[in-house]
Amino acid sequence: MPGDYKKKAERLFPPEGFTAGKGPDIKAISGFAEALGIGAEFQRVFALENDSPGMKVFLEHFQNNLELLIQKTWVEKDDERRKQKLQDDVPPLLDTIRQGDIEKAITMFGAILNELAYLFFGTQSEKDDFAEYTFRIDEQIGLFWWYGGKLASMKPSSMKWASMKPSSMKLKNDDRNDKVLWAVLLLGICYLTNF
């Protein structure tokens, strides 16, 4: 991973993991959004209330773009079922986001990204050097798929962090932990909405 990206990536997902109740803060997440090339969009959407008209429109754009990406992906006949299942997984993800269950949404989104990587890259996405492979294609694409791999491997127990910085996002319990988790999830949502 290129040096500039490595620093931002390690602030988002530290190599030692989220130990002693520490996770990323909003500044680290914003820096990662900048590295992905979605900094301004991330800031704009992160400032929206979850039930605002702007958020509803944004999530509709995300759903439309993700479904279009899935539909336009060419796959072997044997993988058509996987492709259809992935399309079927998008509406429940959005329902989970709208309900404010961010931990569950992260798990669901990680699984969606895992499948999307398979549709885009085939069995290469299942290899240990997948992130390195995508960095050779394009650094921002590599950074996104590195993020996707980290997100897909997150377990609910690793999503409980003690000291978080709040944002304006209001979730089901106005929990600061949920706000940071929302920001982590929003990185991928913004990226795919603008892909």
pLDDT at 178: 73
**Tens digits of per-residue pLDDT, 41-60?**
999 999 998 889 999 999 99
Provide the pLDDT for residue 43: 95
What does the mean pLDDT of the chain come to?
82
Poorest-pLDDT segment among 65-74, 126-135, 163-172? 163-172
What pLDDT score does 160 carry? 54
Give pLDDT, residue 91.
96
What is residue 169's predicted lDDT score, i.e. its pLDDT? 42
Which residue has better confidence, 23 or 87? 87
Structure-model confidence comparison of residues 125 and 166, the more confident one: 125
Is 21:161 a contact under the CB 8 Å cutoff? yes
- Output helix, strand, coil percentages for the chain, rounded to the nearest 5: 75, 0, 25
**Total count of domains within the chain:** 1
> Does 17 have pLDDT greater than 70?
no
d(CA 160, CA 156): 7
End-to-end CA distance of the chain: 21
Return the pLDDT at 158. 56
Query: pLDDT digits over 142-185, tens only?
Result: 989 988 888 877 765 555 543 333 344 444 444 556 788 899 99
Q: Is the pLDDT of residue 133 over 70?
A: yes
Burial category of 15 from C-beta neighbours within 10 Å (exposed 0-12, middle 13-18, buried 19 and up): exposed
Distance CA 195, CA 90 (A): 16
> Which pLDDT value is given to residue 55?
94
Model pLDDT, residue 163: 36
Is the distance from CB of 167 to CB of 46 less than 8 angstroms? yes
Percent of the chain with pLDDT over 70: 78
Burial of 166 (0-12, 13-18, 19+ CB in 10 A): exposed
pLDDT tier at 34, thresholds 50, 70, 90:
very high
In the prediction, which pLDDT does 166 show? Answer: 37
Residue 156: which domain range? 3-193
> At residue 30, does pLDDT exceed 70?
yes
Q: What are phi and psi of 18, to 5 degrees?
A: -90, 85
Q: Check if the beta carbon of residue 157 is closer than 8 Å to that of residue 78.
A: no
